[in-house]
């Protein structure tokens, strides 16, 4: 500021032989415009840590729970949060005690190799000697099946400069919605790319990488996270519904497209709580780094703690990418015409 | 509705039957020197000891059985005049009052009648007093003065909002000469768009406003502009750090056609461009604003007057980067502001019936233009245009009908066509639109309104019983709603009055702020749609009022209940996530309530004047998906506020004023920790998320400051020179402007969190100079 004023003064004096009186006027103006703002630190204070539970269960997977704790804001979070040790994590199934989960690395898993099942009520009771008790309940909704999966290339925009090519496709499928319940769904799609070698040293192994998915179906009232689309059956309850979702293929170079083998469509039947949780994650994502957005209250179904204990079931179908490996020479102008 | 109409009709018949044998008396009250109408002048009729007011055009009427009447006419800031009139038939006469030149206090005969008016929460600060209280930058601002009244919260420091009784800024209707304004801020809110030179009078309804007003939930700020001196040319020229003004008014045809012209701008802002070029190398930045007012008043005859009114105000923020090598350059221009044009016609049908017709067009426009050029990077060659505006084309017609001295009717109707327009476009260098997802939405809405006010005066009790019916049509949806209004004034003993009021209010337009801290033009006005219902509130208020010698004491309490409020969803901004479906980012069906008690002790005129105001108030909101469905304090919830305003006229030349303001700190939300939460189950991927304390559960530090000012006036035969010296925040209290929560990268190359308190205004001395001719 002072340098700026000094420079300004010398410049004006040299050019116009300005008097000190006028220069003082400029200082007053500058003072008013730029000297107002002051920034001060306010202490954040310390809060008692709380238990953080993360567990998403589905049939055919081993029962797994991650247990951590909230970390004070005055500490840095670059080194990650250590998982809680010495926690007693009891599992109840349909109100009957089943087992105490065993600690393995940074998680707690079923020592009896328990695979969760649909429609069972699971209850987790967690005791930490330092942080106290916390608990949560979860039910896995019944699986909804998808059928008639197909894929169509919509649009191809040629790369400009160093930018990636943009290839948009539409995935079509049918779901058989269960009439007796209010169902919530999550669709996400993975792309399987056969070993594609990029340059001499870099090898791309995109096996089942999730891809960008979105919808223009307004009746679904969908929540788009980028990696998945969540919606409810409120507009088609009990119907056999044909749905379409747009995807953007992953390909960092035009040439890599010919190595894409197939697309896997994952239809998850989730709970309303799952949808709310995902929405709150989406809303708060940017606050982690900028703090500029308004505060977001996270969905949590853990009593006396934070986090989630939720269930879902999943049906997967796949479709072959229209281009076969044998079509060695890839002529995108011709193909996407 | 049917029963209501029957009641009103019966009352009308009853009232009309008692209207006979009497002689009616009507006219205008004017200022003698300028011919400017005097609003709210009090006419005290000696024979009946009854008093009547002039309306917002200076017009009055009453009925008398006597053929000779002695009328005492008085108003604050004017010498009281006594007129003796004898008349045989209905008579029209204009009364001229002299402006007060001495420091003597005005004795307003029948002053108690101001208290008797059956309106609650009506505040009128004489313009002379407003001029004695300069705000920041020595710029007199009528909004800043009204912020010092009880029940009013300013919002962030220095801003021009009027947040009344727990309501939000958009719930105050700003009307200038009957035309609504959507945006009243300059310089981010540090100055309002109301140029004090052109204001004749302000009526601020912070309680239950009468049925003639509607469209907002909390309050009405009704500004009447001057008409322009009908007798001679006068004006002033003023230089200040924040604003400089030029103002002229005078007759085009003497006593027939007058004009008023005013221009205000911020010259300092223009100087920023050359200064910034020195400091920022090839970047020229400037910011300025302007207001341009023009009004013509034509007195066609005794019964007809015409007014043509024009206003345009803009803020302009300009950044230009243009290096000499011309490899790349950009231009960013943001322009936002209001404009309106209105045509009004006052017509006196007969001594009992006065009408006003108002045809207007008002618009708030916010344009952001960005153009980028790079000679080697084609993707950097584009222009971006974001244009958001809201406009109203309205036709209003109102009638004031005085049936007898006990019963008056105010009625009227309005047709308003609203246009909400959002255009966000991006073009490449060949002007081809390249972003198809940007919104380009135009929503038209139509509103029609009728209202009826029945005003009874039975001596010890006065009553305003009214209703407003409005219908709003938008995209095949309509919202017809009846809004009953009732206010009652009861004379308990001598100068002690009890007032009660109930009102039901509707707001069809909604304002959403995309930024938390500053009321910037990025904010959007939204219409009611099938998804966004009109906001509603019910208010119940009670108050006691008493004249104690030269002072006036009032205690008012209120309870307000809101429904169908809207708010931006947690973590969202209006257009941040889904451009094409912005309504998804809005949380609807919110409720809320606020309550409070307000104490006011004031002295309006004399050598020593001012007021002391204390308010205790609370305001809460409840949304299903905000704060996990729990009630939380409103963003501007301020439990305690205490204001002292004193004006001391040392002599004819020097006036001192002091303002001390205290308020509990506003609430804000603090983060309490961060937690690792799973966001991709397939890859067992965890991310860190901020965990917040309950919404608005922490408080910023308390707010207080002292402002001192001195006005020195030097008069000679030709002109009058006024020096205004102001020290804002004398003891340099570091009051919070806003709190920002952010992560910083520390020496250990890790992130830590901090809360930053931003302070904008430590001690600020300022000076302005005005020459009046």
Q: pLDDT per residue over B58-72, tens digit each?
A: 888 888 777 777 888
Comparing alpha-carbon positions, the chain A residue that sits nearest to B699 is: A42
Q: What is the DSSP string of B392-427?
A: EEEEEEEEEEE-SSSEEEEEEEEEEEEEEEEEEEEE
Confidence of residue B436 (pLDDT cuts 50, 70, 90): low
Residue B402 neighbours by CB under 8 Å, 6+ apart: B24, B61, B62, B63, B352, B353, B408
Predicted local confidence at residue B393, as pLDDT: 96
pLDDT band for A2, please (50, 70, 90 cuts).
very low
Q: Which residues pair with B307 in a beta bridge?
A: B297, B344
Contact B173, B468 (CB under 8 A): no
* Cβ neighbours for B310, distance < 8 A, ≥ 6 positions apart: B292, B293, B294, B295, B340, B341
Q: Tell me chain B's radius of gyration from C-alpha atoms.
A: 27
**Distances in whole angstroms, Cα of residue B326 to Cα of each of B329, B402, B431, B667:** 7, 72, 21, 49
In chain B, pLDDT over 70 holds for what percent of residues? 87
Q: What is the mean pLDDT of residues A264-270?
A: 91
Number of neighbours of residue A95 by Cβ within 10 angstroms: 7
Q: Going along B159-303, which residue ranges are E strands? A: 163-164, 172-176, 179-181, 185-186, 191-192, 199-205, 219-225, 234-240, 244-253, 257-265, 283-299
CA distances from B630 to A87, A277, B666, B689 (A): 31, 17, 19, 21
Burial annotation B339-368 (CB, 10 A radius, 16+ → b, else e): bbbbebbbebeebbbbebbbbbebbbbbbb
Q: Strands, E, within B608-670: which ranges?
A: 608-622, 632-633, 640-649, 654-663, 667-668
Give the model's confidence band at B82: pLDDT under 50 very low, under 70 low, under 90 confident, else very high.
confident
Query: Which pLDDT score, from 0 to 100, does residue B13 have?
Result: 43
- Cβ contact, residue pair A75, B137, below 8 Å: no
Q: Is the pLDDT of residue B562 over 90?
A: yes
The SS3 of residue B225 is: strand
Sign of the Cα pseudo-torsion (A182, A186, A187, A193, in order): negative
- For residue A330 the two structure tokens come to 């890839």
Q: Which of residues 424-483 of B touch A (CB under 8 A)?
A: none
Tell me which residues of chain A, numbers 63 to 122, contact chain B at a CB-CB cutoff of 8 Å.
Answer: 66, 68-81
β-strands B172-176, B219-225: how paired?
A: parallel
End-to-end CA distance of chain A: 59
Q: Among B278, B621, B677, B742, pick the best mutation site for testing chain A contact (most A Cβ within 10 A).
A: B677
Q: What is the 3-state secondary structure (H, E, C) of A162-181?
A: CCCCEEEEEEEEEEECCCCC
CA distances from B391 to A42, A262, B362 (A): 43, 53, 6
pLDDT class for B278, splitting at 50, 70, 90?
low
Closest-approach residue (CA) in chain A for B767 = A28
With 70 as the cut, is the pLDDT of residue B521 above it? no
* Cα–Cα distance for residue pair B308/B293, rounded to 1 Å: 11
Burial of B761 (0-12, 13-18, 19+ CB in 10 A): buried
Q: Is the pLDDT of residue B187 over 50?
A: yes
Least reliable range by pLDDT among B29-43, B88-102, B729-743? B88-102
**pLDDT of amino acid B522:** 54
Q: Which of B120, B216, B205 is nearest to B536 (CA)?
A: B216
CB-CB contact of B424 with B369 (8 Å): no
Using 50, 70 and 90 to split pLDDT, how confident is the model at B253? very high
Number of other residues whose CB lies within 10 A of the CB of residue A23? 15
Residues 19-48 of chain A with CB under 8 A from chain B are 28-30, 32-33, 36-45, 47
Give the per-residue pLDDT at B102. 55
Question: Which residues have C-beta within 8 Å of that of residue A81, sequence separation ≥ 6?
Answer: A68, A69, A71, B675, B676, B688
Alpha carbon distances (Å) from A213 to A190, A191, A227, A258, B684: 10, 12, 6, 21, 20
The partner residues of B555 in beta bridges, in order of sequence, read B544, B599
Q: Please, how many CA atoms are within 13 Å of residue A58, restricted to the half-sphere of its CB?
A: 14
- Confidence check: pLDDT of A231 > 90: yes
Q: Which two tokens stand for residue B403?
A: 């049936």
Residue B748: pLDDT band with limits 50, 70, 90? low
A235 compared with B109, residue with greater pLDDT: A235
Q: How far is B108 from chain A (nearest CA, A)?
A: 43
Which of A83-87, A206-210, B430-434, B736-740 is predicted with the least confidence, judged by mean pLDDT? Answer: B430-434
As a whole-number percent, the residues of chain A with pLDDT over 70 amount to 66
Taking only the tens place, the pLDDT of each residue in B683-724 is 677 887 888 889 999 898 899 999 999 999 988 888 888 888
Contact yes or no for B674 and A70 at CB 8 A: yes
Compute the average pLDDT of residues B22-32.
Answer: 83
Q: What is the pLDDT of residue B394?
A: 95
Rounded to an integer, what distance in angstroms lies between the CA atom of residue A76 and that of residue B674?
10
Q: Is the per-residue pLDDT at A328 higher than 50?
A: no
In this predicted structure, what is the pLDDT of residue B173? 93
Is the CB of B280 inside 8 Å of chain A's CB atoms? no
Assess A18–B contact: CB distance below 8 Å, yes or no.
Answer: no
Tokens coding A104: 């393995």
Contacts of B578 in chain A (CB under 8 A): 224
Q: Which of A42, A282, A297 lies at the smallest CB-CB distance from B739?
A: A42
> CA of B52: how far to CAs of A62, B46, B57, B113, in Å?
85, 12, 14, 8
Provide the shortest C-alpha distance from residue B277 to chain A (in Å): 11
- Tokens representing residue B680 in the block: 């991709």
Task: Give yes or no for a contact between A124 and A136, defined as CB atoms under 8 angstroms apart.
Answer: yes
**Contacts of residue A47 in chain B, CB cutoff 8 Å?**
672-673
pLDDT value for A159: 45
**Residue A310: closest CA among A324, A323, A296, A300:** A300
Q: What is the pLDDT of residue A165?
A: 57
Residue B534 scores a pLDDT above 50: yes
d(CA A337, CA A248): 17
Strand partners, B105: none
Average pLDDT over residues B28-53: 82
User: B760 or B252: which carries more pLDDT confidence?
Assistant: B252
Contact B466, B450 (CB under 8 A): no
> Is the model's pLDDT at B500 over the cut of 90?
yes
Would you say B411 and B372 are in contact if contact means Cβ atoms under 8 Å apart? no
Q: Of A79-88, B29-38, B632-641, give the lowest mean pLDDT range.
A: A79-88
What are the backbone dihedrals phi and psi of residue B739, each rounded to the nearest 5 degrees, phi first?
A: -110, 135
pLDDT over threshold 60, residue B515: no
What is the 3-class SS of B136-200, one letter each residue? Answer: HHHCCCHHHHHCCCCCEECCCCCCCCCEECCCCHHHEEEEECCEEECCCEEHHHCEECCCHHHEE
Q: Are B354 and B361 in contact (CB under 8 A)?
A: no
Q: Provide the CA B699 distance to its chain's centre, in angstroms.
A: 27
Q: How far is CA B517 from CA B668, B728, B735, in A?
A: 11, 21, 14
Average pLDDT, chain A: 75
**A19: DSSP letter:** -
Q: Is the pLDDT of residue B1 over 60?
A: no
* Cβ-contact B728, B158 below 8 angstroms: no
d(CA B553, CA B545): 6
Say if the Cβ atoms of A52 and B677 lie within 8 Å: yes
* Interface residue B699 vs chain A (CB under 8 A): no
Question: Would an 8 Å CB–CB cutoff place A218 in contact with chain B?
Answer: yes
Whether residue A111 has pLDDT greater than 60: yes
Residue ranges with strand state E in A35-145? 38-42, 51-57, 64-69, 71-72, 88-93, 96-100, 102-104, 107-109, 121-128, 132-139
ipTM here: 0.78
Q: Provide CB contacts within 8 A for B513, sequence distance 6+.
A: B519, B522, B523, B568
pLDDT in tens, B116-169: 778 888 888 888 888 888 777 778 889 989 999 999 988 777 677 889 999 988
- CB neighbours of A31 closer than 8 A, spacing ≥ 6? none
Beta carbons within 8 Å of A296's beta carbon, 6+ residues apart:
A280, A283, A284, A287, B570, B571, B690, B692
Nearest residue to B354 via CA among B41, B59, B653: B59
Q: Which residues 279-308 of A are in CB contact (within 8 Å) with B?
A: 280-298, 306-308
pLDDT digits (tens, 9 = 90+) for B452-486: 999 998 888 999 999 999 999 998 899 999 999 99
Q: What is the arithmetic mean of pLDDT over A296-321?
A: 88
Neighbours of A301 (CB within 10 A): 20
Contacts of residue A288 in chain B, CB cutoff 8 Å? 674, 687-690, 743
Instruction: Look at B241-245, B309-313, B405-409 and tell me which has the smallest mean pLDDT.
Output: B241-245
Q: What is the mean pLDDT of residues A96-116?
A: 88
Of B516, B676, B740, the CB nearest to A294: B516
pLDDT at A294: 65
* Least confident span in A180-194, A232-246, A313-327, B402-416: A313-327
pLDDT of residue B536: 94
How far apart are the CA of A328 and the nearest CA of chain B, in angstroms?
Answer: 32
pLDDT at position B577 is: 43
**Tens digit of pLDDT for each residue in A31-67?**
455 445 566 677 777 788 889 999 999 887 888 899 9
Note the residue count of chain A: 337
pLDDT of residue A10: 46
- Cβ within 8 Å of residue B411, ≥6 positions away: B398, B399, B401, B450, B451, B452, B453
pLDDT at A307 over 70: yes
B581 CB within 8 Å of a chain A CB: yes
Q: Model confidence over B640-667: pLDDT tens digits?
A: 999 999 999 888 889 999 999 999 999 9
In the sheet where A88-93 sits, what is the strand order?
A96-100, A88-93, A121-128, A132-139, A302-303
Query: What average pLDDT does chain B have?
Result: 84
Q: Which residues contact B562 (CB under 8 A, 6 or more apart)?
A: B217, B535, B536, B537, B590, B591, B592, B593, B594, B621
Please give the Cα distance from A136 to A132 (Å, whole number).
Answer: 14
- CB-based contact (8 Å) between A14 and chain B? no
Report the SS3 class of residue B5: helix
Residue of chain B nearest A314, judged by CA positions: B682
Amino acid B434: pLDDT? 60
Distance in Å from the first CA to the final CA of chain B: 56
Contact: A40, B741; criterion CB under 8 Å: no
């Amino acid at each position: 500021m002072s340098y700026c004023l000094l420079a300004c003064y010398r410049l004006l004096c040299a050019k116009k032989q300005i008097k000190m009186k006028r220069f003082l006027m400029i200082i007053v103006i500058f003072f008013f415009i730029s000297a107002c703002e002051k920034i001060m630190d306010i202490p954040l204070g310390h809060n008692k840590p709380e238990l953080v539970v993360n567990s998403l269960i589905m049939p055919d997977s081993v029962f797994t729970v991650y247990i951590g704790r909230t970390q004070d804001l005055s500490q840095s979070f670059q080194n990650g949060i250590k998982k809680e040790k010495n926690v007693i994590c009891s599992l109840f199934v349909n109100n009957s005690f089943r087992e105490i989960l065993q600690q393995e690395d940074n998680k707690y898993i079923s020592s009896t190799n328990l695979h969760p099942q649909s429609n069972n009520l699971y209850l987790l009771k967690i005791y930490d000697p330092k942080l106290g008790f916390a608990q949560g309940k979860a039910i896995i909704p019944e699986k909804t099946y998808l059928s008639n999966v197909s894929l169509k290339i919509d649009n191809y925009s040629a790369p400009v400069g160093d930018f990636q090519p943009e290839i948009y496709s539409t995935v079509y499928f049918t779901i058989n919605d269960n009439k007796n319940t209010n169902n919530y769904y999550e669709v996400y799609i993975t792309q399987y790319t056969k070993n594609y070698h990029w340059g001499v040293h870099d090898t791309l192994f995109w096996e089942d990488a999730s891809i960008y998915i979105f919808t223009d179906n307004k009746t679904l009232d969908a929540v788009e996270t980028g990696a998945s689309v969540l919606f409810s059956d409120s507009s088609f309850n009990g119907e056999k519904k044909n749905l379409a979702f747009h995807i953007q293929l992953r390909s960092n170079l035009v040439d890599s497209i010919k190595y894409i083998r197939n697309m896997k469509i994952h239809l998850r039947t989730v709970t309303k709580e799952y949808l709310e949780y995902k929405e709150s994650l989406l809303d708060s994502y940017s606050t982690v780094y900028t703090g500029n957005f308004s505060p977001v209250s996270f969905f949590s179904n853990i009593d006396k703690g934070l986090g989630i204990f939720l269930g879902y079931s999943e049906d997967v179908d796949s479709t072959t990418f229209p281009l076969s490996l044998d079509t060695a020479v890839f002529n995108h102008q011709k193909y996407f015409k | 509705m049917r029963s209501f109409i029957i009641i009103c009709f019966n009352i009308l018949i009853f009232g009309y039957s008692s209207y006979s044998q009497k002689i009616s008396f009507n006219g205008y009250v004017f200022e003698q020197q300028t011919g400017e109408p005097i609003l709210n002048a009090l006419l005290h009729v000696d024979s009946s000891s009854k008093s009547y007011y002039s309306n917002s055009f200076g017009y009055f009427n009453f009925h008398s059985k006597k053929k000779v009447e002695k009328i005492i006419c008085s108003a604050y800031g004017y010498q009281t005049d006594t007129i003796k009139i004898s008349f045989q038939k209905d008579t029209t006469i204009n009364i001229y009052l002299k402006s007060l030149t001495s420091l003597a206090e005005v004795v307003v005969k029948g002053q108690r009648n101001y208290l008797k008016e059956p309106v609650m929460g009506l505040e009128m600060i004489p313009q002379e007093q407003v001029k004695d209280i300069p705000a920041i930058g020595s710029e007199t601002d009528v909004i800043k003065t009204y912020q010092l009244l009880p029940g009013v919260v300013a919002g962030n420091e220095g801003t021009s909002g009027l947040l009344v009784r727990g309501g939000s800024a958009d719930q105050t209707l700003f009307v200038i000469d009957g035309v609504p304004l959507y945006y009243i801020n300059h310089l981010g809110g540090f100055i309002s768009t109301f140029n004090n030179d052109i204001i004749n009078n302000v009526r601020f309804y912070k309680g239950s406003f009468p049925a003639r007003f509607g469209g907002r939930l909390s309050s009405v700020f009704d500004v009447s502009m001057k008409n322009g001196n009908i007798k001679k040319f006068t004006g002033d020229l003023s230089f200040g750090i924040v604003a400089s003004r030029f103002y002229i008014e005078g007759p085009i045809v003497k006593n027939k056609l007058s004009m008023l012209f005013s221009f205000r701008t911020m010259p300092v802002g223009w100087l920023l461009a050359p200064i910034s070029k020195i400091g920022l190398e090839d970047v020229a930045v400037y910011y300025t604003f302007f207001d341009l007012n023009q009004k013509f008043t034509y007195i066609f005859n005794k019964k007809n007057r015409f007014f043509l009114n024009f206003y345009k105000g803009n803020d302009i923020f300009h950044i230009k980067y243009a290096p000499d090598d011309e490899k790349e350059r950009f231009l960013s221009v943001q322009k936002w502001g209001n404009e309106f044009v209105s045509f009004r016609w006052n017509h006196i049908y007969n001594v009992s019936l006065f009408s006003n017709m108002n045809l207007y067009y008002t618009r708030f426009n916010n344009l952001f233009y960005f153009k980028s050029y790079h000679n080697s990077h084609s993707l950097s060659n584009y222009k971006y245009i974001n244009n958001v505006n809201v406009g109203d084309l309205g036709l209003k017609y109102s009638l004031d009908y005085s049936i007898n001295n006990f019963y008056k009717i105010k009625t009227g109707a309005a047709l308003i066509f609203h246009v909400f327009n959002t255009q966000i476009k991006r073009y490449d260098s060949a002007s081809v639109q390249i972003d198809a997802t940007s919104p380009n939405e135009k929503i038209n809405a139509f509103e029609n309104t009728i209202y009826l006010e029945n005003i009874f005066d039975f001596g010890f009790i006065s009553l305003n019983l009214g209703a407003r019916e409005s219908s709003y049509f938008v995209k095949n949806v309509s919202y017809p709603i009846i809004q009953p209004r009732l206010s009652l004034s009861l004379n308990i003993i001598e100068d002690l009055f009890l007032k009660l009021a109930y009102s039901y209010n509707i707001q069809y337009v909604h304002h959403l702020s995309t930024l938390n801290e500053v009321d910037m033009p990025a904010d959007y006005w939204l219409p009611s749609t099938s998804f966004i219902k009109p906001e509603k509130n019910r208010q119940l208020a009670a108050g006691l009022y008493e004249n104690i010698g030269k002072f006036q004491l009032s205690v008012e309490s209120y309870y307000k209940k809101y429904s169908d409020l809207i708010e931006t969803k947690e973590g969202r901004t209006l257009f941040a996530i889904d451009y094409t479906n912005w309504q998804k980012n809005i949380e609807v069906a919110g409720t809320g309530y606020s309550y409070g008690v307000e104490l006011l002790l004031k002295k309006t005129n004399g050598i020593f004047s001012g007021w002391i105001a204390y308010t205790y108030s609370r305001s809460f909101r409840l949304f299903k998906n905000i704060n996990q469905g729990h009630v939380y304090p409103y963003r501007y919830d301020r439990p305690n506020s205490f204001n002292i305003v004193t004006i001391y006229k040392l002599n004819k030349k020097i006036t001192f004023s002091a303002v001390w303001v205290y308020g509990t700190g506003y609430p804000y939300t603090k983060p309490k920790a961060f937690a690792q939460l799973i966001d991709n189950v397939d890859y067992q991927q965890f991310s860190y998320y901020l965990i917040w304390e309950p919404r608005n559960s922490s408080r910023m530090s308390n707010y207080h400051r002292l402002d001192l000012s001195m006005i020195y006036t030097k008069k000679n035969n030709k002109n009058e020179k006024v020096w205004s010296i102001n020290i804002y925040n004398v003891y340099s209290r570091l009051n919070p402007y806003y709190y920002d929560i952010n992560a910083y990268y520390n020496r250990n190359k890790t992130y830590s969190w901090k809360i930053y308190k931003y302070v904008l205004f430590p001690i600020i001395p300022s000076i302005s100079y005005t020459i009046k001719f």
